[in-house]
Amino acid sequence: MRVWAVAVMVLGLSLGVAAQNTGNTAPGDLPEAPAPGSAAPLPPGAAVQDRTATVQPGLPLVYTPLSPHQKFHIFVEQTYSVYTFANTAFDAGWAQMTDDWPAYGQGAAGYGKRYGALLANHEAGSFFENFLFPTLLRQDPRYFRMGDGHSIFARVPYAMSRVLITRSDSGHGTFNSSLLLGLLFVDGLTNSYYPRPQRGLGETMSRFGGGVLSSAETNLLREFMPDMVRIFHKHEPEKLKKLEQLEKKMPLANKLSRPNDGVVQPPGSQTGATTQPSSHGNSVTGIGSQPGADPPSRSNCSSPKP
């Protein structure tokens, strides 16, 4: 039910995007689909700090697989991100306020146990789902957006289907075994530190199902969040825009920003760039991919909660 609720929310908030695109996007504006399985080597001297690579219009679109080293950096950047620790602290506070997992108790000790469990979930999920299984199974842990050049009714099922479909390192669509195995392994590990009432096969499979639904929700947000942000920035007051520009000049702005989760923007999108997993890095260049030819994959973990 949570997934459909998110889907309805996304659909409503994205109607403005469809209205903006009506009459503005001609069929000839869409990029041509890449040749299936084509690959381009990484450019020499790619900077670790670079998180985006511009896709120039008119250039042939190719799929560039990630090396094991780059998949490892996706995991590392998320692991040491200040955002990760801050987000976990908020989730632990919310869990304590709603008395989730009462066996952990209340007070500082209860909060510490909840925080430790949630942080362990996230770190283990990132390791298994972004590095270990994608490396062993030669799959891509990133999420490739379909983008606003397509119907909302096509993008919603596409985003949700990325839980089951990913891209192999050879560039072809394949079953997303790295994500599902990662979720299952993390849910199995939780039996070693969850309270006894939350252990066992039944509880593990229940958490696994919740993790699959959570991953689908995450993909919906990855698909539509850039559209929502663009609409918000278009109508936000000028004073707020100046405040955002001031915040970006702060010394800790980059460290406090959300870590890159490997979402790849489609070529021709209004962002004009593909997001690079230097993170959750080595930069990866121009992974332009036209979803209609060979629908790409899901990325980054959404760790289950105890």
Angle at 86 between CA 84 and CA 89, to 5 degrees: 110
Annotated domain spans of the chain: 47-275
Contact at 8 Å (CB) between 289 and 296?
Answer: yes
* pLDDT tens column, 119-155: 999 999 999 999 999 999 999 999 999 988 889 999 9
Q: What distance in Å separates the CA atoms of residue 127 and residue 182, rounded to the nearest whole number?
A: 8
Q: How would residue 232 be classed by pLDDT, with cut points 50, 70 and 90?
A: confident
Q: What distance in Å separates the CA atoms of residue 22 and residue 294, rounded to the nearest whole number?
A: 25
Q: What distance in Å separates the CA atoms of residue 8 and residue 2, rounded to the nearest whole number?
A: 10
DSSP category for residue 197? G
3-class secondary structure per residue, 220-289 = HHHHHHHHHHHHHHHHCCHHHHHHHHHHHCCCCHHHHCCCCCCEECCCCCCCCEEECCCCCCCCCCCCCC
Helix intervals (H) in 131-237: 133-136, 152-161, 177-189, 201-235
DSSP-assigned beta bridge partners for residue 166? 174
Calculate helix-pair angle for 82-97, 107-126, nearest 10 degrees: 130
Count of helix runs (H) and strand runs (E) in the chain: 11, 7
> What is the side-by-side strand order in the sheet with 173-175?
139-140, 165-168, 173-175
DSSP category for residue 140? E
* pLDDT tens column, 63-111: 889 999 999 999 998 888 888 898 899 999 999 999 888 999 999 999 9
Token pair belonging to 100? 């989730």
Mean pLDDT of the chain: 73
- The pLDDT value recorded for residue 148 is 80
Alpha-carbon torsion, ordered 124, 42, 33, 60, to 10 deg: 160
Highest mean pLDDT among 28-37, 44-53, 230-239, 282-291: 230-239
Helix intervals (H) in 33-81: 68-79
* Sequence-distant (≥ 6) Cβ neighbours of residue 18 within 8 angstroms: 151, 152
